[in-house]
Amino acid sequence: MKNPSISLTPAKCELLDNILNEFDEEVYIKSDRVLKIFRGNGTLASDYLDFLVQMNLVILVGQVDGVPLPAMVGKQAGVDMFISEGGFKRRYALNKLEQDTGKSIFDLQNENLDLKEKVTKQDQLLKGLEASLTQQGKNILEKWLVRVLFFLAGILITYAYFKIFQAA
């Protein structure tokens, strides 16, 4: 893990976040707390700490040659913000999303906004079409009602005509 461009996995991200979460409100922690995360594997813990040092997230205090872990680990400025923003897990998820879609989160957000605008415009167009169809339906109904009324009026006039002129 000497290279900061290593390919992270969700499990590795969780271990890295666990180390950073171990600090809580403290600025320095003893290395034995980090060692517990790695179930006593000092070499593996040392590799992860080296990675965090390269990322400028922690500093190692009291490192001795031949001993895999330093006496203490200190957190750098910005670690709290890094953790509050989701830490390595969130960055991994965003990277994975970017790789899967071929777009950055910024591009996806812009695309999402564009799609929301299109949906809004389509909704307005649909409402306009519905109103137009409703109006056309009313107009057709009115025309047919007028025709039926004229037809009935014609029948009544014809009936009245024959009643009047047959009676005379």
Hey, how many other C-beta atoms are within 10 angstroms of the C-beta on 68? 16
Shared domain for 96 and 17, answered yes or no, is yes
Shared domain for 139 and 162, answered yes or no, is yes
Shared domain for 97 and 157, answered yes or no, is no
Report which of residues 48 and 63 the model is more confident about.
Answer: 48
Shared domain for 67 and 114, answered yes or no, is no
Shared domain for 97 and 110, answered yes or no, is no
Is pTM beyond 0.75? Reply is no
Rounded Cα distance between 139 and 133, Å, is 10
Shared domain for 20 and 96, answered yes or no, is yes
Shared domain for 122 and 85, answered yes or no, is no
Report residue 68's pLDDT band, with 50, 70 and 90 as the boundaries.
confident
Q: What is the pLDDT of residues 82-121, one digit of tens each?
A: 999 999 999 898 888 877 777 777 777 888 899 999 999 9
Identify whether 81 is part of a domain.
yes
Identify whether 64 is part of a domain.
yes
Report residue 60's pLDDT band, with 50, 70 and 90 as the boundaries.
very high
For residue 110, the model assigns a pLDDT of 86
Domain of 33, CATH number, reads 1.10.10.10
* pLDDT for 71 beyond 50: yes
For residue 3, the model assigns a pLDDT of 46
Identify whether 2 is part of a domain.
no
The last residue of one of the domains, among 59, 77, 101, is 101
CB 73 within 8 A of CB 49: yes
For residue 6, the model assigns a pLDDT of 59
* pLDDT for 4 beyond 60: no
Shared domain for 69 and 140, answered yes or no, is no
User: What is the span of the domain harbouring residue 160?
Assistant: 103-168
DSSP H stretches of helix in 2-104: 10-21, 31-37, 42-54, 79-84, 87-101
Shared domain for 57 and 75, answered yes or no, is yes
Q: What is the pLDDT of residues 7-58, one digit of tens each?
A: 789 999 999 999 999 998 889 999 989 999 999 898 899 999 999 999 899 9
